[in-house]
Amino acid sequence: MATCTLFSVADTDLAAPAEMTLPTYDERTSKLGAFTQPHTAELGPNWGALHRALGNQPGTSPLGFLDDGGERFAPLDDGKHSSGRYFAPAAVVKLLAAVAAINDDYLMKNIAKLQILEVSVADLLRMLARVRIFLAEAVEGDRGVIVHKLF
């Protein structure tokens, strides 16, 4: 089961040499190393349920960012065990606007329609709140976001 972690990064983080930000990679650990001040949101294996609750949107929609979209982030995208996608700061503003516009009624309709049962409604609401806060802090810091999934 894939897990998902969101990282917000500044231009200086992206410009750092890979050996300074990427530790030795194995199939069970994240390839992204600790930045000076790591800003992360760990969604774990329930990220897929949240993606579906947000409407199961494609990557062309801002609400599809957990599953697709953005630019390939090569240091985390080996195509087999790990994927990484980068959203520039301007795109993160759009992600935040889309996520902030989601109300409980919209979420509940999607949960019922798609019969999302593997995660409680309370846990989905908490995860959505965590993502909103994470995106708001990234926007405030003019930071991009990397969506990293381990398979």
Q: What is the mean pLDDT of residues 20-47?
A: 62
Secondary structure of residue 145 in the 3-state scheme: strand
Closest CA to 25 of 71, 73, 81: 81
| CA-based R_g, the chain, Å | 15
Fold exhibited by the domain 3-150: Hypothetical protein yfbM fold (3.40.1760)
Residue 17's pLDDT band, with cuts at 50, 70 and 90, is low
Amino acid at the residue 134: F
pTM: 0.86
Beta partners for residue 148, in sequence order:
5, 84
- What does the pLDDT look like over 56-83, one tens digit per residue? 999 999 999 999 999 999 989 988 899 9
- What does the pLDDT look like over 105-141, one tens digit per residue? 999 999 999 999 999 999 999 999 999 999 999 999 9
HSE at residue 82, side-chain half, CA atoms within 13 A, is 18
Q: In the 3-class helix/strand/coil scheme, how is 8-57 assigned residue by residue?
A: EECHHHHHCCHHHHCCCCCCCCCCCCCCCCCEEEEEECCHHHHHHHCCCC
